[in-house]
Chains A and B, each alone.
Chain A
Amino acid sequence: GNSVTQMEGPVTLSEEAFLTINCTYTATGYPSLFWYVQYPGEGLQLLLKATKADDKGSNKGFEATYRKETTSFHLEKGSVQVSDSAVYFCALSDQTGANNLFFGTGTRLTVIP
């Protein structure tokens, strides 16, 4: 079946620190992989995605590379800001046409000045 395992939170970092949030997946076939972000009091926003192996998704300084050999899609950012404080969700799409998403449990990031 399809599932996503995400790094447990919460994560607290100082401003300008390096961020890694681990995500691994189990899937049949060749899923697309996503990172969504949820800022306090808001809905989920697509942060980045990758649709095939070795693709790198990037947005707002965040990056994640689709690693088929390790079934991973770790989120990274070189220098976090206070405004990056949010909950980050890793997800995969089962590519059955419905594009239904399977979400990880979310990782709460707090960046302190």
Chain B
Amino acid sequence: RKEVEQDPGPFNVPEGATVAFNCTYSNSASQSFFWYRQDCRKEPKLLMSVYSSGNEDGRFTAQLNRASQYISLLIRDSKLSDSATYLCVVRRGSTLGRLYFGRGTQLTVWP
């Protein structure tokens, strides 16, 4: 079983739509959780960390359910510039630990 599972999509939504991505992780020892954004043929860039209490950054809201080992990302009022691949990422153990990446969910926002 993969460390991190994501629905690869693609998700095609109009501007202004709300879209949600889900992710599950297999190792209960995972302690840190992130969403990264990756544009085509570019490196991943940190979008936001995910905290147990849930957290919001502008139009982006991330949720974590440790009991279900489930992570989500909600994007409200989608913009054309949100088109990218969104990677669910977890880290086990210490802050020195390696990252485990999901394969990403592709989002295309159309005008």
Partners in one complex: no
